[in-house]
Structure 1
Amino acid sequence: MSTRQKLGQASTMLWVLGWAVLMGIAGALSIWLFHEAMFLVQRLLTGQSGEISDVMRDLSWWWRLLLPTIGGLVAGILLWLAKRRKSTMADDYMEAVTLGDGRLSIRQGLLRTLSSLFTVATGGSIGREGAMIHLASLVASMLGRLLQVGATHLRLLVACGGAAGVSAAYGTPLAGAVFVAEIVLGTLNIQSLGPLLVAAAVANLTMRIVGIYQPLYEMPDVQSVVGMDIWVFVLLGVLVGVAAPGFLKLMTVFKSYFERTGIPLFLRLAVGGVLLGLLLIAIPDVAGNGYSVVTALLHEPWAWYMVVGMLFAKVLATALTVGSGAIGGVFTPALFVGAAFGTLCGQLLLSVVPGLSIPLHLFTLVGMGAFLGAATSAPLMAILMLFEMTLSYALVLPLIVATVVAYFVARLLAEVAMYDVVLVREQNERLRSTLRHTRLNELVRPAETVLKDDAKISEALQMFLDYPVKYVYVVDANNVFQGVVAQQDLTRLLLHHLDTEKLTLADVLRPDFVKTLTPNMSLDEAQDYFVSFSGERLPVLSEETEPRLLGVVYKSALLEKYTAIKRSLDAAEVTAVFNSTKS
């Protein structure tokens, strides 16, 4: 690499990192703005603001019913307006990064964010992080377009905005960067991860400067797990791995049910708000993202039946909110469900296993991380997030064990994930694996231009007249491949007026003139052969000491197979776009 190229590469790297800093600041400020807007809506509607479950407890029963109904109706109208006019640009940041050119629709982005704002501000049991991350990514896309950044760098800047959003929303810069790298980009390559880390770190620093950073579940004095006690977290991982796909499938079932009612979108969200309000009359603690209940599970004793009741109520509240079509994330509700599930498993194990001296809150924390990792299909992100949320290094070992086990169990049991892009990427990888391992024996066709080695030259000439080919394959009496006779060689014989009557094909054949294939070759290997071959077909030989001619593979058949697989990939991507649009 020349000095000029090195300087150009260094300049590009500095430029990208510099804009990552800007995306971090802009992302953090957009999260702060969302928080303030959410509290403003609460004050306008209820006269108070703060954690929505605390606000809900202070309201009368009829206001608990009315507030989520109003929020659902307004959110539905905003979402209906967003979907009323289609845009050529993406309306989801994951779609913009993975499938698009980094451009996000400003109109749809703002309307979707406002819709989510009214849902979470009025008690919707859904994660506010979805709208926050989208808003941060939208700001990054707007800045990139304003600066006329190219598509490749614009996608990276939008990804930086997403990482900054996660970092600012949760106070987790490492997990914020890995979230986008692991889930959205599907790679931990430092060329992509570096800018994400910078953006996430700057966002976290910005939140500290404005004075609103605080570890969500800080527990620095967590007891270390030693010796064989680690087995309980293997068991916890297995149980969580079974439960997490069920939670996600339940969300899908409720979505499908609401859609089948045929109710218009804005009324559908209002109906969801009414049903949620009826639940909040009895259990106001299931409003919002569940932060206060998780804190109580960590620091207060709970009877097992209270945990069960709260778990079922929260899952139902989330299913009603998500199922009605509300915009937001189930990221935070997944942490809640994991906390309650971990607490229940811990209570059970501590009661039946004598001598087990693990504190209950450790099960709660590990359950959160394991459930999040299994639901998102991003175990590394989940491990880092719980570590940063708690600032407890002692938590890491049991967290690794349970989260990784839960991830693999969940993937074995069901093809379901919190984010469609994860499923599409896995499906694409399976299709590519199929491409790599598909064998040529599926494409072998009979060879029509075959002659015995004792055939006359005139027979080969007649075959060239009958078939538009450049080579005739030559075999012996036992069908063992001998080589090919090239049309150009026979043409040369005729031009030189040589006597061909006494010659047989054995006299003019070329044994190694064309490359040969075997039936167990992969499509990739066969493609490499065709790249350097100008003809349309290649012979396929058996894998024996004296290889027999089995047939031919046509270049067009190979290309058709590739096209079919590419069509499957495109269909998978379209499905991802459709699903993300519906959600």
Structure 2
Amino acid sequence: MFNRRLGLSRLMMRLRRIIRNDQLILSVLAVLVGVIAGIGVIFIREGIDFVQGLFLGGSSDKLINSLLNLPWWRILVVPTLGGLIVGLFVYYFIPGRKPCGVSKVIEASVFQGGRMNFRVGIGASIASIFSIGIGGSVGREGPAIHLGATIGAWFSEKLHLTRSLSRALLGCGTAAAVAASFNAPIAGALFAHEVIVGHFAMSAFAPIVISSVVGTIVSRIYFGDAPAFEITQQSLASLWEFPAVVGLGIAGGIVAIIFMRTTMASEDLIKKLPGPHWIRPCIGGFLLGLIALAFPHVLGVGYEATDMALNAQLPLYLLISLLFMKILATSICIGSGFGGGVFTPSLMVGAMLGGAYGIIATSIFPDLSSGPGVYTTVGMGAVAAAVLGAPISTTLIIFELTDDYPLTIAVMVGVVISSIIAQQFLGKSFFNWQLERAGLDLKSGFETTLLRSIKVKSITNNDAETVSVSASLEELRNKLQFSEMGELFVIHENGELFGTIVLADLSDIAFDHNVDDLVNAGDIARINPPVLDQDDDLENAKKVMQDSGEHFIAVVENHETMKFIGVLNETDMMTAYNQALVQARHEEHEGAP
């Protein structure tokens, strides 16, 4: 196994030597990533259908009728025992003991320089397949995106690509996964730029588009050229409907906030429950089963129920009920640790909201309304955009699904308003919330990444002025008088740091030669000064400088030996950071028109 991995790594490096142009190799890799990510989407979809057929008797798009024919105990037992299996698998086989999704890809892009754990990516996909297969009320697109990005990160690691190229490959995997999932190549490319990469430089745009198209082709070869949702041709009947669309956008923003806050509360509540970590999905599965006894539509990704809403096949009471039950079911599943995302659940919640809103609007203004179907489509976009923090790509997904420009304009209005509402009153998307829960701040993410990428030892000044512990007062006077730093570092004979001395420490005895033979450096030195390990990064160095107020920090081999290496100057630290910033921006925008 080791020899096989070594041979593969050598093959990757040989490819890197043959193709030296970064844009060319990125384009070649974009094709490979697109193909593999597309196959990954097929694997996830078929895996979910297999598990669902085994335990619940139906596939994702034909699940509800199967559930209605199952005995009640099976609807309750399958999610409960399935949740137990998911919990044990995640606990023992996934590093970090938590299934991941889009937020992990964003973290890799912003904080990890495009690197991801391959084992976590594969494990999260398996956990998600089983989670959804046993009825988990979560989406399959998040795991697909995570898997696609993991594939891109694997190529980056094997070829030792730069940070900017690695982030571009993350975007390639993401774009291919979204495009293959929704049969929407334009939306796939834009989602990768909008959510993962964060810029539209040509150096990243071209390969991401390539991957998105390739992923779509792979999906269409296997599944055919069918849209993700069956939406009948619909258009706005009149421009007078736009005030109603504005109202739906406001409602969509409010529902998105309720969705996210309910998920936050669910996770907080479940964390407080006694018992081991792996039992939580079992508890979540039991609660999910209780909901499904009355509302089986909440089980699984929700494609079938969403299609029914889009085609006006659900009554008003059921639309309103499923709106809140789907939010509750998804919140329980996400909070308890099921593998999966919120992409499809947010679309279903939006469809239920839009469908109910459309029925009410049509009953009040029948002559002005184009029917509930239009509002269902707008509701899908409004809620999903606010939850995902991706208004552009969500709008494009709807456009590619409907191929209706006037309807897309209405979706844009709803999306913009709902996104503004969510940002104004919550301030973040679902993915940003997950990152904040992990202690990561996207606003300072780029700066943090750069600071973490620079090690203290790379900019340490090894010519710092030192004196021994036994150095005389006269020697201290002479050295400090001509010291560029105005500071001396006192060390033992074995090289261990003892303390520091500045000119102010000699103020009382600077001109008192009567004590020259009575006082040495060890008597005057400030002991236990702030220090940095040579392997620390500049993020930690910045914190130490801020906390201590010092402009020069001693650098040691490690905190055990305390062997003095040199000194870190605040000016050198800022210079290194600025150089890294310029280089990173150059790499990101290289090739841009």
TM over 0.5, shorter chain: yes
1:422 shift after superposition = 8.2
Residue aligning to 1:41: 51
Go from structure 1 to structure 2 and tell me whether the alpha carbon gap of 1:289 and 1:44 turns closer, same or farther (over 3 Å shift). Answer: closer
Go from structure 1 to structure 2 and tell me whether the alpha carbon gap of 1:85 and 1:298 turns closer, same or farther (over 3 Å shift). Answer: closer
Q: How does 1:480-491 map to 2 (within 5 A)?
A: none
Q: How does 1:2-21 map to 2 (within 5 A)?
A: 11-21=21-31
SS in 2 for 1:162: helix
Asked if the contact 2:115/2:157 (under 8 Å) is kept, the reply is yes
Go from structure 1 to structure 2 and tell me whether the alpha carbon gap of 1:406 and 1:429 turns closer, same or farther (over 3 Å shift). Answer: farther
TM-score (norm 1): 0.68
Residue aligning to 1:238: 250
Which of 268, 271, 283 is matched with 1:271 structurally?
283
Which of 333, 355, 360 is matched with 1:343 structurally?
355
SS in 2 for 1:125: coil
1:10 shift after superposition = 10
What letter is aligned with 1:282?
Answer: A
What letter is aligned with 1:38?
Answer: I
Q: How does 1:489-500 map to 2 (within 5 A)?
A: none
1:48 shift after superposition = 5.2
What letter is aligned with 2:127?
Answer: S
Which of 266, 274, 280 is matched with 2:292 structurally?
280
**1:335-392 deviation line (CA, Å, top 9, x unaligned):** 0111111122222222334632322100000010011111122111110011112232
In 2: Cα distance, 1:314 partner to 1:328 partner: 14
2:243 equivalent to 1:227: no
RMSD between aligned residues? 3.5
In 2: Cα distance, 1:241 partner to 1:430 partner: 29
Residue aligning to 2:590: none
2:39 equivalent to 1:29: yes
Residue aligning to 2:489: none
Q: How does 1:245-394 map to 2 (within 5 A)?
A: 245-353=257-365, 355-394=367-406
What letter is aligned with 2:81?
Answer: I
In 2: Cα distance, 1:96 partner to 1:237 partner: 32
In 2: Cα distance, 1:143 partner to 1:118 partner: 27
Go from structure 1 to structure 2 and tell me whether the alpha carbon gap of 1:22 and 1:268 turns closer, same or farther (over 3 Å shift). Answer: same
Residue aligning to 2:175: 163
Go from structure 1 to structure 2 and tell me whether the alpha carbon gap of 1:227 and 1:158 turns closer, same or farther (over 3 Å shift). Answer: closer
Residue aligning to 1:81: 92
1:85 shift after superposition = 6.5
1:256 shift after superposition = 0.4
Asked if the contact 2:56/2:67 (under 8 Å) is kept, the reply is no
In 2: Cα distance, 1:258 partner to 1:162 partner: 30
In 1: Cα distance, 2:426 partner to 2:371 partner: 32
Go from structure 1 to structure 2 and tell me whether the alpha carbon gap of 1:10 and 1:368 turns closer, same or farther (over 3 Å shift). Answer: farther
2:59 equivalent to 1:57: no
Residue aligning to 1:139: 151
Residue aligning to 1:573: none
In 2: Cα distance, 1:311 partner to 1:290 partner: 12
Identify which range, 230-239 or 22-31, moves more after superposition.
Answer: 230-239
What letter is aligned with 1:21?
Answer: V
2:229 equivalent to 1:217: yes
Q: How does 1:428-439 map to 2 (within 5 A)?
A: 428=444
1:41 shift after superposition = 2.4
In 1: Cα distance, 2:349 partner to 2:42 partner: 26
In 2: Cα distance, 1:39 partner to 1:149 partner: 37
Residue aligning to 2:205: 193
1:427 shift after superposition = 3.6
In 1: Cα distance, 2:226 partner to 2:202 partner: 28
**1:315-342 deviation line (CA, Å, top 9, x unaligned):** 2211221121212111111001111111
Which of 413, 417, 424 is matched with 1:412 structurally?
424
In 2: Cα distance, 1:86 partner to 1:155 partner: 25
**1:446-492 deviation line (CA, Å, top 9, x unaligned):** xxxxxxxxxxxxxxxxxxx9xx99xxxxxxxxxxxxxxxxxxxxxxx
2:247 equivalent to 1:207: no
In 2: Cα distance, 1:340 partner to 1:408 partner: 21
In 1: Cα distance, 2:185 partner to 2:233 partner: 22
What letter is aligned with 1:28?
Answer: G
Residue aligning to 2:114: 102
In 2: Cα distance, 1:43 partner to 1:234 partner: 41
Asked if the contact 2:139/2:344 (under 8 Å) is kept, the reply is yes
TM-score (norm 2): 0.67
User: What 5-or-longer segments of structure 1 have no aligned partner?
Assistant: 1-7, 433-464, 470-535, 537-557, 567-583
Asked if the contact 1:204/1:213 (under 8 Å) is kept, the reply is no
In 2: Cα distance, 1:121 partner to 1:353 partner: 42
SS in 1 for 2:430: coil
SS in 2 for 1:419: helix
1:182 shift after superposition = 0.8
Residue aligning to 2:459: none
1:92 shift after superposition = 2.8
1:431 shift after superposition = 11
What letter is aligned with 2:302?
Answer: G
1:49 shift after superposition = 4.2
Go from structure 1 to structure 2 and tell me whether the alpha carbon gap of 1:422 and 1:187 turns closer, same or farther (over 3 Å shift). Answer: farther
What letter is aligned with 1:162?
Answer: T
Identify which range, 344-353 or 255-264, moves more after superposition.
Answer: 344-353
What letter is aligned with 1:404?
Answer: V
Which consecutive segments of 4 or more residues in structure 1 shift more than 6 A? 421-426, 429-432
Q: How does 1:165-184 map to 2 (within 5 A)?
A: 165-184=177-196
1:173 shift after superposition = 1.2
1:40 shift after superposition = 2.8
What letter is aligned with 1:26?
Answer: I
Go from structure 1 to structure 2 and tell me whether the alpha carbon gap of 1:384 and 1:320 turns closer, same or farther (over 3 Å shift). Answer: same
Identify which range, 369-378 or 98-107, moves more after superposition.
Answer: 98-107
Q: How does 1:432-451 map to 2 (within 5 A)?
A: none
**1:200-248 deviation line (CA, Å, top 9, x unaligned):** 1110011112234420224362123543332211121122122211210
In 2: Cα distance, 1:41 partner to 1:162 partner: 25
Residue aligning to 2:522: none
What letter is aligned with 1:338?
Answer: G
In 2: Cα distance, 1:222 partner to 1:259 partner: 45
Go from structure 1 to structure 2 and tell me whether the alpha carbon gap of 1:426 and 1:42 turns closer, same or farther (over 3 Å shift). Answer: closer
Which of 63, 66, 77 is matched with 1:66 structurally?
77
In 2: Cα distance, 1:185 partner to 1:425 partner: 16
Asked if the contact 2:57/2:67 (under 8 Å) is kept, the reply is no
Which of the two has higher C-alpha Rg? Answer: 1
Residue aligning to 2:497: none
In 1: Cα distance, 2:253 partner to 2:317 partner: 22
What letter is aligned with 1:300?
Answer: A
In 1: Cα distance, 2:429 partner to 2:220 partner: 33
Go from structure 1 to structure 2 and tell me whether the alpha carbon gap of 1:245 and 1:94 turns closer, same or farther (over 3 Å shift). Answer: same
Go from structure 1 to structure 2 and tell me whether the alpha carbon gap of 1:430 and 1:243 turns closer, same or farther (over 3 Å shift). Answer: farther
In 2: Cα distance, 1:337 partner to 1:188 partner: 31
What letter is aligned with 2:86?
Answer: A
Aligned residues: 439
In 1: Cα distance, 2:249 partner to 2:334 partner: 26
